[in-house]
Amino acid sequence: MLKTKLMLAAVALAASASWAQAEEVNLWVRTSSAAVLQALAEKYNAAHDDTVNVTAVIAEQMVPKLGAAIAGGAPPEGAVLDLIYLPTFAANDTLEDMTGFVESLPYADALSPSHIRLATYDGKIYGVPALPDASIIAYNTDLFEQAGLDPEKAPASLDEIVEDAEKISALGDDIYGFYFVANSGSWLIYDFLPHIWAADADILTDDGREATIDTPAMRETLEDYRTMWQAGTIHPTSRSGNGNNAVEAFASGKVGVLMTGSYIVNLLDSNYPDVNFAVAPIPGPTGGQSSFAGGDTLAMIKGIAPEKKAVIEDFVKFYMEPEQQVFITQEAGMPSRTDLAEEAYANFDPRNLIAYDILSKARTPYTYASDELFVSRTGPFLNLIQSAVFGDDVDGAIATAQEDFTKILDRTNP
């Protein structure tokens, strides 16, 4: 009897110790990413003693809310952020160094290069890709064929798009050759800047501290857009519309080339199956190709307890497993690991791979002032595009943007 009691006590003690060692961690995520991350957390929690709690935060509120929580001493253990904000948080010494963990992953070389670059500050890595995406062009193959263009041949340059847009627009008064979202800085860094990168130029230096707006690539790109606007080959709602307007216009079958993102393939397949289209990387003015690497990066807040740090690292390893990478593709459109692309997209439209393959060449502005420079509706980047494309002084718009960028950078650089 005594022996039985001792055995039961030992079992109870072991169970108690196991329970006591279970950890809970809190992850703040953008609302746009919340559904898939919540699902991943639930899958993880069901298979582990530890628990990952996901809290959705409105995207526009994430940065100020997280900053206030850190300043107040009550932040979550981790956050899944728009990758463009990683340099700012890292420079402010608010993130946990993840260098050793990231470099130890056997698939480290297969992680999105731009996500790692934006998570790197002063030689240390402060984040790991979570849910990447990339920008591309989509073009209507029916309109290309009707205009006498080869539907199997994607435009190889922006100059070629200008020519194609004119031929497509000539098909009818209600048909337009080109659509881009012109009144949103967030959209423009997503699908306009890749033209510049494709020409081996940039709008900022690699360290993000100086503006490099006045380049031949920028001037040629703006001139091409202005040429299309003046010729009437750009859809009129481009100037004031949003992303939904862009999709609707392209889905109507009356837009030849759409500046868009990797999500477009599955979206058109699901909602507009009658639209015949192809996708391609975004070209530079005279050639080359690039993309904007968008999406989310997971980071840990500095000072996280070692036990909780281990849980988040384990969660990262979990969602990087092939099974979860396929799940992410089903739910969010793009896996974090490039070495699993074919497996992840095996049951999807193969055009997804065209979008995904460009991720290795994709870039993202490395800056400590992304909102002021690029996102603000009164910011210098949006003003540059609006003034140059819809105005009459490209040189003046470039000079003004260079000056305004420099003022902001001088004030915000750490």
Given a cut of 80, is residue 408 above it in pLDDT? Answer: yes
Place of tokens 């263009």: 149
Q: How far is CA 318 from CA 23, 41, 56, 213, in A?
A: 16, 10, 20, 41
Given a cut of 50, is residue 294 above it in pLDDT? Answer: yes
pLDDT at 18: 45
Q: What is the pLDDT of residues 118-144, one digit of tens each?
A: 999 999 999 999 999 999 999 999 999
Residue type, 28: W
Given a cut of 90, is residue 200 above it in pLDDT? Answer: yes
> Percentage of the chain with pLDDT > 70?
95
pLDDT at 300: 98
Given a cut of 80, is residue 189 above it in pLDDT? Answer: yes
User: Token pair of 63, please?
Assistant: 């940065």
**Top-confidence residue, 334 or 310:** 310
- Label residue 8 by pLDDT band (50, 70, 90): very low
Mean pLDDT of 305-315: 98
For residues 362 and 293, the answer to whether their CB atoms sit within 8 Å is yes
For residues 370 and 91, the answer to whether their CB atoms sit within 8 Å is no
DSSP E strand stretches across 149-243: 176-179
pLDDT at 341: 83
Given a cut of 90, is residue 354 above it in pLDDT? Answer: no
Mean pLDDT of 12-24: 60
pLDDT at 268: 94
Place of tokens 């993130």: 95
Alpha-carbon gap, residue 246 to 135, rounded angstroms: 14
Mean pLDDT of 364-391: 96
Class of domain 23-133+293-361: alpha beta
Mean pLDDT of 179-194: 95
- Label residue 17 by pLDDT band (50, 70, 90): very low
